[in-house]
Amino acid sequence: MKKYVFSALLLAGLTFSFSSCSFKNDSNRLEAHPLILNNDEDVEIPEAPYDPTIGIGKYDAKTEFKGMDAAMAAKGKEISDAKCASCHSLTTADHLVGPGWKGVTKKHTAAWLMNYITDPDPMLAKDPELQKQIAEANGIKMPNPGLNAEEVRAVYEYMRQVDGAK
């Protein structure tokens, strides 16, 4: 038992002494570390290029769903009726404020649609097709509907149902 306690204390002491001495009196080394930013300098982080197939957000190219979830689509219809139907119709011919939903799941990937529904602003700033839609809608932008991940998925399932997914 004494042997293990001594080993643990020795290890803790060595760890402390190495960590406390490694940057001692070496401020240049600390500032040069790539993960530590100097507050006196503006550091530009390169922006990833915009991918028009997935948009901007937490959903990526792996976001894909097999088979239609009818229960989720029913919930998505309720959400759509409450939050989306005043601006979007279910056809392509009826253009209210925003475009109609008919064919939207064939035109865009699940990732793109779900990223856009989750947080439209970053995509509105980058996507040329969305910017064209804003111009056609006299500058009116889609507001953030404030949906959680489950609600976004439900609306997406409803969009799929509108497009005839089984």
For residue 20, count CB atoms less than 10 angstroms from its CB and return exposed for 0-12, middle for 13-18, buried for 19 or more.
exposed
The predicted pLDDT at position 97 comes to 85
* Per-residue pLDDT tens digits for 112-161: 999 999 999 999 999 999 999 898 888 899 999 999 999 999 999 999 99
In this predicted structure, the answer to whether residue 41 has a pLDDT above a threshold of 70 is no
Tell me what pLDDT residue 122 has: 95
Q: Tell me the pTM.
A: 0.70
Is CATH 3.40.605.10 the classification given to domain 70-162? no
Query: What number of H helices and E strands is found in the chain?
Result: 8, 0
Read off the pLDDT of residues 53-109 as tens digits, 9 standing for 90 and up.
999 999 999 998 888 899 999 999 999 999 999 999 998 766 678 888 999 999 999
For residue 39, name the pLDDT band (cuts at 50, 70, 90): low
Q: How many CB atoms lie within 10 A of CB 46?
A: 5
